[in-house]
Each structure stands twice: as C-alpha cells, then as structure tokens.
Structure 1
Amino acid sequence: MQLIKYKVHKFRSIKGTDWIDIDQWACFVGVNESGKTNLLLPLWRFNPADNATKIDLLHDYPRDEFSEINGEKSERLDEPFIEVLFNISASEVETFENYYSERTIATEDDTASTENSEGEEDAKREPEKYGITNYLLIKKDYNGNFYIHLANENGEQMSPDIDSDVTNEVFKKICQHIPKFVYYSEYGNLDSDLYLPHVKDNLNRITELTDKERMKARTLKILFSHLKLDPDEIMELGSENYPNNNPAQKTPEKIKEESRKKQERYAKLDSAATKLTKEFREWWNQGNYIFSFNADGNYFRIFVSDSERPEKIELESRSKGLQWFFSFFLVFLAESEDNHKNCILLLDEPGLSLHPNAQSDLILFFNQLSNKNQLLYTTHLPFLVDHNNLDKVKAVYSENGLTQSSNDLGKADKERKAIQPVNAAIGITAAHSLLVGCDIVIVEGVSDQFYLTMIKNHLISKGEFQPKKEMVFIPVGGAKGVKPVVSIIQGTKGELPYTLLDSDQTGKQFQKSLNSGFYSKEKNKVIETDTFTGKEGSEIEDLFPIDRMVDSFDRIFRPDDDIEVEDFDSEKPIIPQLEEFAENAGITLELGWKVEISKKIKQRFDGDVPDEIEKQWIKLFETLK
C-alpha cells in the first residue's frame, strides 16, 4: 500500500486541510509556529510503528474545543481526525472483488423478500456500481477506529465502509497491511552518559513520561533491545561485594568469580558495539565511525571514534549532527525492520545542527532512503529544500491562527514568508552554479523547471544526452524576471546563459527586448519553444504528447463535461485550448494551475515517449549544450 494523499480534520492547530499530495517523499516548509509538526503527528497517530504511541486527547484535540468533549462516549470522538488515500496492488483489488461478490450473494439470500426504503440493501447488491479501483480511503477517529472505503484517485468515497466486525477477514487483512509510520524528532537524541537505574525506571514507565522524555526513553529502549543488552544484567555483572566493607578480605574465589563476570560484561558490550558499528557504517557512509560501550558500576557510556579522531570521545561531546544521525538510525533500524520494513518515515526538523554541506548530503541520503520507504519531513532550512524537486515541497502557513497546507507554493503564501526557504534554495543553487561552473539555463517559471529537469534526466538515462557540466534550470517568475537575473549572471560569469522562452505573445515581446539589449551579440542564446514544437505560439507544455496534457487536466479538475483528446487540435498550442475548455465548463483556473499540471505529468511519467516527441527533446538539449 502506497500513501497517495491525506487530509487532517481537527487536530491541534488544524481544523481542516485540503488534500496533501504525497509522492515517494515530501518536504513541508514553513516558518516557526506555522504548524509543520502538526501535519506529521496525525499520520503517526494514524498507525504508529511504536505501539506505545497512543492518541492523546488532552494534547491532540483542538484546545479551543476540548471543553465540548463530554466523556469517552462523546459523539465528537467518532469524527475522523484524518483521512488517508492509499494505492493498492492488483492482488488486493482481487480481494475486494471477491469480498463484494460474496457480500452480494449473502445479501440477496438474506434479503430476497425485504426491501430497504432508502435503497441501502439494493446498493449493497450492486458492487459493480462502486467500480472496484486501486485506491483505498481509510479514516481514523479519536476512539482509534478505522473506516475503510473504496475510492477514486481524487480521494472521493465510492462505497460504504467495509464491515469492521472483528470476524471480517478482509477488514483485518487491510488493517494488517496499513503501513506503519515512524516519527522522529530532535527530542529523541541520546545522552552519552547513562545512569542504569534511571534507564531501567524510564523503560518500565515509558508511557507515563512527558513527550521529550518519552522520545528519549524510546530511543534508549531501542538501543538496549536491538543490541540485546539488559540494564539489570549489566549492573549485576559489574557488581562487587566487600566483606565488612573491606576489599582486602575478599577471597581468591570471589575475586576470580567477579573477574569472570566483568570479562563477560566487557565481551557483551564489545560484541554489541561491533554490531552497531557495522550496521551504522552500512547505513551512513559519510564517515568511518567506530562505537564503543563502557560500563562502570551503574554508569553506561557511549564513545565514538573515527579515522580522523582515533581517540574515543563521548557521544555527547561529538557534533550535534552525529548525535542526531546516531539516534535517528537506532529508531529507523528498529521500527522499520521485519514486518515494518515498508514503513513511512516522518522526520520533524531533521539536520538542524548540521553544516550546510552536510544538509545537502542529507537530501541525497533522503533520496536514497525514499527508494524503499516513503518519507515526509519538515524544515525551514534552505539547504534541505531540493530545488530540483519543488513539486514535492508543500507550503505550511498559519491563517487566522489555524494551520493550512498547500501543494501550490505560489498560491499558499501571499506574504512570501512560508516559502522563503524555497526562494533561498533557488538563490543558493544559482550562486552555487556560478561558483562551481554549472551550465545555467534561464526559464520563465517553476513548471518549466519541472519539465526540463525531467526531460534532462530521461535523455541522460537513455544515453541521448551527455552534458559536460551539470545543467541547472533557474526559474525567474515569468518573462519579466529574465533581465535582472541575466545581468547578475553575466556580471559574475562573464558570459550570457541560455534563456528559453515560451512563444506566446508575452514571450515573443521579451525575446525581442532581449535580442535588442543584453543578447544583441548572442541572439542564438535566446531560444523559443516554437523552434522545437513545430507549432506557432507554443509553450513548454507543447513539448509533451497532447493526450498526457488532457489526461492530467482531467485528473486535476474533474470537469462535469466529458473531456476527450479528440476534442483538441494537436496542431495547435494546448494551453489556450485548455483555457477555452475551462471557461466553457465553468472551471476557474487559479494562478499556478499550470504548475499543478506539470506536477501530475512528472508524477506519472514512466519513460514511454513517442519517437517524434523524444526527437524534439534531443534537439532542444543539443541546442542548450
């Protein structure tokens, strides 16, 4: 089951969000106190890998409505606080087909002579009307109950909820296959000096601890359980008894016995540390770290050394970044193994203490992790925003004191505060490109960047394009933004970058302006889409098959009027045609709608491209090279 999207209702600072689209990974960006954490916690509460994690009404229910909950039987607790849409496999689809088929037969037998006045039973006898799909909509309420429905890809409910009776094998099977969610924040970082009696006490009452202490105790529990270390045994193996409080009176037999026990303790700790070192090295390859454990009476200490610093240093004295990686590694290792191997990772403000270079490495590491586990994380750090995948960035902002989230970065942020890290990331990338000698291509908008980055990666993977340098596409917010950015780049690099413009009326005007100004001596570096699409007045979208554009438009806007590819002229630019269709169908196309189309195209791109289109792509990138 793959997470496709989710929405939150009445959870902490959230009273209701729109659907939040999730790909293999997603990044939530916003200022402090915008509520980023409150978008991760509902998912964790939805199906936590850590069984000790429970819904906490006192902290999770919106505080301004808390007084309206009248006991455990309150109707308010029956309201779902989260809805999650999953994509399921073909075998699971077959399970539901069988379920509804059997349910139909049983209903026909039991109610042959009975007719419900509201037609409910008739509906149950017609499973085909639900349209068995590859999507499941699962809701959860504050009582911990799941409600499972068939749905379409937009999250629209297409069936009554599947019987939740404990004898229903289908319901139980679904619940068993819902992915587990692993949540981690800075609060779980381990100390290097542990007093074992306190460790033992915290592990015995982990559910009673406050959030921060519980997170740390959770990491401790994982450390000891994963490495098969027992605090009681470590203390017992290191204990010493002095007759009459006089060490000199200890017998040779007692000395030998205690010596062997301490050797056994050393062997256990050394074996556990060796195992941990090996596993950490396979997981994080940014340093050759060696862990060692030391037990002294009731104290347990964690030391770290590496090739550059061979001396053993307490974990707490090493960098905050290493402490974060080590603690997160333990939680990830324990809560994602075995039956949790396909869990979904939720990381709250990761890498706060990392150097910018290490934060950039962390993005690469996240990409690596997301190959096997979907990953969602929050940040306000520009170095943790992947400018090449802005379609995966979600803006989080506060509106009248309530948390909101949007897949559309431009629409979400009128004051430009929430997405400041995104703007900074683009600026940093541009500056970095200037310093390290990347080839820069100026494009009008974010959608152009999405499309061209996708095309570049496709051509490189097929061996059709082999750039000498990394090629970076810098969006400048429309044709009007080209001049100031070009002037900066020209002043820094001493040469003009390629600029790709749409061939619509605005693009033509700015092409003429640039050719008579900055580019008067290098007009070949101002290129337009008409050159490659073979259409007059084309835009970047015309570099893609028209059926993909129409399909993506249909999936996003779901018009009441049927929309067919045959209704569009493939010889003309597609954007004006879609705008005309939207106007006739009464669909309002808000600012940023073309970015949403580009996201959908990128999400569904499978590498299958008509030869004619691929030749256009090759021609374009040969020009840019």
Structure 2
Amino acid sequence: VEFINYRSISEDALDIEHDITCLVGINEAGKSNTLLALEKADPDEELTVAEYSRHSDGFGDPNNSPELRLWFEPDKDEVAGLKEIFGESISTLLLVKTTDGYRVDFPAIDYKKSKFYTPPALTEGTETQTENPEPTDEATQGIRKKVIEELEQNYIPRFLRFDSVNFNEYFLPQNGEVLISQFIAKPDGMKPIKNLLALGEITDFSVLQANDENKRLIRDTLLNNASKKINEEILRVVWPVESVEVRLSAEGDILKIRLQEKDKTSPFRPDERSRGLQWALAFNIYFLAETKDELQQAVLLIDEPGIFLHIDAQKKLLEKTFPKINESGNQIVYTTHLPYLIDSRFPERIRILEKKNENTIIGNKAWSEGEFGKIPEPVRTALGLRWAELFNIGDKNAIVEGPSDQIILRAVHGVFGKDTTIGFLPAYGYKKFPSVLAIVQIEEKQGFGIVDGDENLETLRKKCATVSIPEDRMDTIPTLTNNPAIITIEDILPEDLFRQAVFKVYNPLCLRRRNCSVTETEIPAGYPRVKKVEEFFAAKFHAQKHNFAKMEFASFCRSEDGSAGGGWGEECRAVRAKSAKPRRLLVQSRTPKKSFVFLLPARRSLGAGGEEKIRRAQNQKCEQNFSLVWRALASGGGAGRQSFRSKWVRAFSNKGHHVGKVKEFWFASLRSATNLYWILGVKKNWRFCKIWFEPMFFRNVGNSERLSV
C-alpha cells in the first residue's frame, strides 16, 4: 500500500505480509496513522480532504485529495474471475483510492473482451454492422464503473481496525448476567454473549427459554456441554490463567456467566477478575467466534494488542491466537511497543516506523540505520532480556549473516529438514559472527557460523579465538558445498526457483516504470547470482548501481508449510518429488567434527562424476536426517568442557582488585575487545576481555552487580 499525503505520511509505502505484519516505533512515529490510512482502503470507508497531509505544499486546497495506491496479487481462485472482468489474464492489480472513490490504474481494461461489454444494437435502416466495433466513450465509462463495483463487492478485502485499549464493547457483562428474553429479541446487540454461545456451538437461542422441568434439564445439559467446548477452544489457543474456566448456567430468565478456578466451588463474576483476564477473554471470544462466521478474508488492523497481558500471555497471543485467526484467510497488521510481541524469528514481518521532519517514514526492513548502528529493532526494543529469550537461542543454532539468509534457510529447511530443533540466527553483519557465537556459548548452547564466500574467514576466526571459540565453529559456504562458485545463500537455491522469486520481486517494479519489462527466462542465474542480478537490473533501470532486494526476495520463500502467499514450499516439494535423482547433495565438511547438508542448484555444478556423486548422496541421505547445521561429536562441547560463563565469572571474581572507578564506554561488537577497550574498568590484560553484542554503557557498577551482569 502506497500512502500519498495522508496525515503524517507524505509519501511512503507499506509492504503487508500474507499472514502477520508488525509495526514498531516510538510514540508519535505514526503507527496509529498508518492503521487509520489502511482502514480507509475499506470499501465502506471514505477519504476526506480533512485528512490531507498538513506537511504538504498543497494543504488547504479543497481540490487536493489524499491518495492510497493499493497493489494486489490475486489468489489462484480469483484469476479466472478477474480475466472475465478485465478481458485478459492479470497477475497484478493497482487500485487508487481518493476522495472520489476507487479507480483502476493497472492493468488496462480490454473493453471488448470484458464480460461487461455489450455490442451496440443495429441502428434503424442498417442491415449489418462493423465486426467488433470500438466502444464509445460512454460505453467505456460504463464498463469502468461496473468493473469498480464488481471489485468492491467481490474482490477488495475488508480493512477492519480494532483499538485494543478501548475494547470494552467486546467485554462480557461485568455482573456476568443477562436477561434471556432480551438477548433472544436482539442477539446482535449483545455480541459478546452471542459469540460466547457460538463457541459453545449454541446457535438456536430459543433453547435458553425453559418453561418446564424437562426443558430446564435440556438447557442445563446444553450449557454444561457448551462450557466444556468454550474452555477447550480458548484454553487450546491462549489463556493467561490456565486454572480459570468459564461456567455457563441459567436460572429462570437469567443467563449467568461465571469464571471459576479449577477444583474450587466459589465462582467469580467477570468484574471480580483482573482487567488483563477480562481483555484476553473478550479478545479471544470475539476473534475466535467471528473468524468462523463473517470475519474471513479480511485485513485486520489491531492497535496495541496484549497491552494488559503478562509476558507468557503475550507470547501465546502471538504464537497461538494470531495463527488461528490467519486460518480463516485473514491478514493481521498490528502495532506494539511490547518486546514479547516482536518475534525476531520472523524478521520479514517487522516494519520500523520513524519520524523525520514531522513525516512518518516506514522502514520495510527488520533493522535500523540509526544511532545504535544497525542494531536489530527487536533487539533494541527488548534490551534487558536474557540473551536466549532475546534471540530465540535454541539447543542448535546456525548463525547466518542477515535476516534474508535466515528467512531463506528457515523456509527451505522447513521443506526438506527433519531436525526441527535447529534454529537460524542472523548476526546482522559478518563482523558480528564472533559476538553471536560468544553469546550462544555463554548460554551453553551449540552454534555454528555459515559465512559468505567473499568474507575474510581467517580474520573472524582470530577474533573468535580471543573468547575461546574453536575455529571449526564457522566455515564458508563454498567450503561447505564443496563448490567455489557458490558464494552466498542465494546461490544454493535451484535455478528455476531463484529465477521465479526474482521475477516476482522485480516484475511489479518494472510494471511501474515506463518502457520497462522483464521475463523470467532472461533473469541471469549465473554465479555469483546477487552480483549478476544487480548488474542486470542496473542496466534495465538505466542506473549506475542497483542493490539487490534481498528481503523482498527472501519473502517469497517464507512459507514454511508450503501455504499460499508467495512461498516456495509447494514448488520445492514438487521439485523434490519430480525425479528420483535429487538436485540436492549431502556434502561433508573437511572438518571431521561436523557434517552439513546444503542445497546445490543443479547437477551440472557437480563437475566430473556428478551422477555418481548424486547416487552416493541419495544413499547417504536415506540414512541420515536432513540437517542444515552440524552433528557435533562429544569432543565438540558439552559437560566435558568448562563453560564459558564459569570462566568469565571466576575471572572477574578472582581479580576484583583490578577494578577501579568505572567510566562510560561504548562498545561496538568484538572490536571493543581487540582494541583493548575494557569493560568495567579492568586493567589491560587479555584474559579480562568481555565481548558484548551491541553498543551499551555502564556507569559506576558496584562489585556485587558485576558478577550478575
């Protein structure tokens, strides 16, 4: 979505993921304005002149209008219908919304092939007419109007905004009671009750009215069963306090809703529980019920969800409730300041909003170029958390250079991998590999660095040695794949999938330019691929230099389960199943302590004896689980090794007399140690180097605090 002169957004664009998009930024950065702008894309909403940006030169002119440019990629089941409307197959649709409504800017309508075209009737005294006559201006105007109406009714998704702070209208009645007769008369006026009963599979509300003993017994049985279903539905998804359950009952004309602790007999009214519990109950009841009914295939705009929840409940909201909402075809765009609602495992979802010269700037990347120097925004937001929580460090970790590498390997590994315990951590720059490996070692986990072939591996290994990290804990992609031509993560992908993803990224960019087009077959796939593509599109765009759109490219392999949304999952499975001769090869590293599986792009890259290598690899793959990292031997770490953490703490505790008054220091990754910038005022001795991942400073830290830092 491109925003032009809307409130604080003078001109910028937001890329919306197929599932979840997270907007983060400081107060007044423009997060709420972005949601308001997206809400205006809804067919039932209208743009107004009053929303025109005050920072624009045209502010105050009643003839000027804010503008939303909406780029859509049709689903497979929409392609046929759109072809009937436009008269030709389309892959991209551009709708522009102003104060006058929608208009179609791309593609052009083939009026004579559109289903709305009607050939003109014969005029009086004319026996024949010209074959396929050109439609008149009046006819084309009528066709355009019908196309817009059809798109509004059947194709443009709903954009619905929810203010999570002011969510009271979705709360259950505070006293937990409602008159059944009033509810049956106007159930839509009591949405929380209606949705709660829907989760309990009660849709015939007449059963709630019981005039005799037999009907009362039936009603009590239905409400008891409904209570069990509601608790199963909500507890299975997310619930802040798992010991609390919902209990439904009825007395006469009163329906009672109580919250009861397990194994306790005294129930509570909703207003007797915390606001966080009431909010979680309201949020889940509404969305879990509505997504089974009317809330489907929509873009849900949620402002500050989970602000009343504790940390574990925030995690469940992100990991359980949101994916459940996605199952109904909904896309979620939400804003947050909460670190536990920023999932660094999926950097492609994160959008950073900043304010510059009173204008909102939307960053569609997961890191910032600000004063902290390329610190990942989720990390900066969540400073102070444990490293393992901060980086989602697991037992087995593959460290890669950037988030695009993380996304590609995570998706490909999700298709071919069998070891689900392996996680991929971005170092956000090759110079920070030693720092991340040190953090992994401090957490007593296993880690291995996968370095691009054009980086200086020996320099990184020397830095790793300063913190007792063995040199075999990282290696380059050419070495791991046994192919010196393969330099980056993009090079390991099969050629056809690489071309397909590049085409999906750059075809819309070419369509927006005059006299520019690109086909999938002309995209270069030679090594090194990134450099070749940059040169190709620099010439295509008549530019001196072009930077490869890595994050956009990586987003087309983000679907780990092969679901829709641009993912490569299904294509990868199809390629794997196409032939018994695999395109992928198990390659054993020259280092005897570990072995790797990497994807090789084609058989021809194997050189002489390629078929025999493939045969051996196939047999070996049948015996071993797919793993993109290592199988460490006992000598590589574990209980037999003294932990890095214990060495570090003992060094400081034994040398406390070396510490003087602590000054302010700014540390920049491992360079701090190598340049003898000493943390906590320790005198110059290499044994006391402390490696910190990102810039921080400490002032007057006491001796007792040092050991816990």
Q: TM-score, normalised by structure 2?
A: 0.61
What CA distance in whole angstroms lies between the structure 1 residues aligned with 2:520 and 2:231?
Answer: 53
Confirm whether residue 182 of structure 1 aligns to residue 160 of structure 2. yes
Confirm whether residue 624 of structure 1 aligns to residue 630 of structure 2. yes
Q: Look up the match of 1:502.
A: 452
**TM-fit CA distance, 1:544:** 0.9
What CA distance in whole angstroms lies between the structure 1 residues aligned with 2:269 and 2:490?
Answer: 56
What CA distance in whole angstroms lies between the structure 1 residues aligned with 2:247 and 2:57?
Answer: 47
Confirm whether residue 466 of structure 1 aligns to residue 414 of structure 2. no
Q: Deviations over 1:59-110 (max 9, x none)?
A: 855467899668xxx533xx46423233334564334444455xxxxxxxxx
Q: Deviations over 1:208-232 (max 9, x none)?
A: xxxxxxxxxx997422565799xxx
The 5 Å alignment of 1:416-565 reads 420-424=377-381, 430-432=387-389, 438-460=395-417, 465-466=418-419, 470-493=421-444, 497-504=447-454, 506-513=455-462, 522-533=470-481, 534-536=483-485, 538-557=487-506, 558=509, 560=516
Q: Deviations over 1:6-35 (max 9, x none)?
A: 223333322332242322221112122212
User: Is the CA contact 1:149–1:159 (under 8 Å) kept in the aligned structure 2?
Assistant: no
Q: Give the direction of change, closer, same or farther, for the CA distance of 1:191–1:518 in structure 2 (3 Å limit).
A: same
What CA distance in whole angstroms lies between the structure 2 residues aligned with 1:140 and 1:266?
Answer: 56
Confirm whether residue 396 of structure 1 aligns to residue 370 of structure 2. no
The percent of aligned pairs where both chains have the same amino acid is 22
User: Is the CA contact 2:354–2:362 (under 8 Å) kept in the aligned structure 1?
Assistant: yes
Q: Give the direction of change, closer, same or farther, for the CA distance of 1:292–1:419 in structure 2 (3 Å limit).
A: farther
User: Is the CA contact 2:407–2:554 (under 8 Å) kept in the aligned structure 1?
Assistant: yes
Q: Look up the match of 2:174.
A: 193
Q: Deviations over 1:101-133 (max 9, x none)?
A: 5xxxxxxxxxxxxxxxxxxxxxxxxxxxxx530
What CA distance in whole angstroms lies between the structure 1 residues aligned with 2:374 and 2:535?
Answer: 34
What CA distance in whole angstroms lies between the structure 2 residues aligned with 1:44 and 1:529?
Answer: 45
User: Is the CA contact 2:69–2:97 (under 8 Å) kept in the aligned structure 1?
Assistant: yes
The structure in which a higher percent of residues are helix is 1
Q: Give the direction of change, closer, same or farther, for the CA distance of 1:540–1:354 in structure 2 (3 Å limit).
A: same
What CA distance in whole angstroms lies between the structure 2 residues aligned with 1:434 and 1:339?
Answer: 37
User: Is the CA contact 2:367–2:377 (under 8 Å) kept in the aligned structure 1?
Assistant: no
The 5 Å alignment of 1:267-286 reads 275=226, 278-279=229-230, 281-285=232-236, 286=238
The 5 Å alignment of 1:179-258 reads 179-184=157-162, 185-189=164-168, 190=171, 192-193=173-174, 221-223=190-192
Q: Give the direction of change, closer, same or farther, for the CA distance of 1:583–1:132 in structure 2 (3 Å limit).
A: closer
Determine which of 569, 590, 615 is the counterpart of 2:585: 615
What CA distance in whole angstroms lies between the structure 1 residues aligned with 2:350 and 2:19?
Answer: 12
Determine which of 273, 279, 282 is the counterpart of 1:327: 282
Q: Give the direction of change, closer, same or farther, for the CA distance of 1:272–1:519 in structure 2 (3 Å limit).
A: same
Deviates more, 1:587-596 or 1:577-586: 587-596
The 5 Å alignment of 1:24-63 reads 24-47=19-42, 55=46, 57=48, 60=51, 62=53
Determine which of 321, 324, 336 is the counterpart of 1:379: 336
What CA distance in whole angstroms lies between the structure 1 residues aligned with 2:296 and 2:227?
Answer: 19
User: Is the CA contact 2:399–2:449 (under 8 Å) kept in the aligned structure 1?
Assistant: yes
Q: Give the direction of change, closer, same or farther, for the CA distance of 1:296–1:404 in structure 2 (3 Å limit).
A: farther
SS at match of 1:303: strand
The 5 Å alignment of 1:269-348 reads 275=226, 278-279=229-230, 281-285=232-236, 286=238, 287=242, 289-292=245-248, 303-307=258-262, 311-332=266-287, 335-348=290-303
What CA distance in whole angstroms lies between the structure 2 residues aligned with 1:579 and 1:346?
Answer: 35
Confirm whether residue 83 of structure 1 aligns to residue 69 of structure 2. yes
Q: TM-score, normalised by structure 1?
A: 0.68
Q: Give the direction of change, closer, same or farther, for the CA distance of 1:264–1:37 in structure 2 (3 Å limit).
A: farther
Q: Look up the match of 1:147.
A: 103
Deviates more, 1:607-616 or 1:80-89: 607-616
One-letter identity of the residue aligned with 1:535: P
What CA distance in whole angstroms lies between the structure 2 residues aligned with 1:435 and 1:343?
Answer: 30
Unpaired stretches in structure 2, ≥5 consecutive residues: 117-139, 179-186, 199-209, 511-515, 559-565, 588-595, 599-626, 632-709
Q: Deviations over 1:447-482 (max 9, x none)?
A: 22112212221223xxxx335xx2222222222112
Q: Deviations over 1:387-411 (max 9, x none)?
A: 2211121112222222221212336
What CA distance in whole angstroms lies between the structure 2 residues aligned with 1:146 and 1:535?
Answer: 53
Q: Which structure's relative contact order is higher, taking Cα pairs within 8 Å and 6+ residues apart?
A: 1
User: Is the CA contact 2:31–2:335 (under 8 Å) kept in the aligned structure 1?
Assistant: yes
Q: Give the direction of change, closer, same or farther, for the CA distance of 1:65–1:26 in structure 2 (3 Å limit).
A: same
User: Is the CA contact 2:68–2:98 (under 8 Å) kept in the aligned structure 1?
Assistant: yes
Q: Look up the match of 1:127.
A: none
SS at match of 1:531: helix
Q: Look up the match of 1:605.
A: 568
What CA distance in whole angstroms lies between the structure 2 residues aligned with 1:524 and 1:322?
Answer: 50
What CA distance in whole angstroms lies between the structure 2 residues aligned with 1:140 and 1:43?
Answer: 11
Determine which of 547, 550, 555 is the counterpart of 1:594: 550
What CA distance in whole angstroms lies between the structure 2 residues aligned with 1:355 and 1:149?
Answer: 46
Q: Give the direction of change, closer, same or farther, for the CA distance of 1:67–1:619 in structure 2 (3 Å limit).
A: closer
SS at match of 1:93: helix
User: Is the CA contact 2:366–2:377 (under 8 Å) kept in the aligned structure 1?
Assistant: no
What CA distance in whole angstroms lies between the structure 1 residues aligned with 2:495 and 2:335?
Answer: 36
User: Is the CA contact 1:363–1:384 (under 8 Å) kept in the aligned structure 2?
Assistant: yes
Q: Look up the match of 2:92.
A: 135
Q: Look up the match of 1:234.
A: none
Q: Look up the match of 1:577.
A: 532
One-letter identity of the residue aligned with 2:419: Q
Q: Give the direction of change, closer, same or farther, for the CA distance of 1:577–1:537 in structure 2 (3 Å limit).
A: same
**TM-fit CA distance, 1:624:** 1.8
Q: Deviations over 1:336-375 (max 9, x none)?
A: 4545433332221111122222222112121232132222
Q: Look up the match of 2:184.
A: none
Q: Look up the match of 2:7.
A: 12
One-letter identity of the residue aligned with 2:435: P
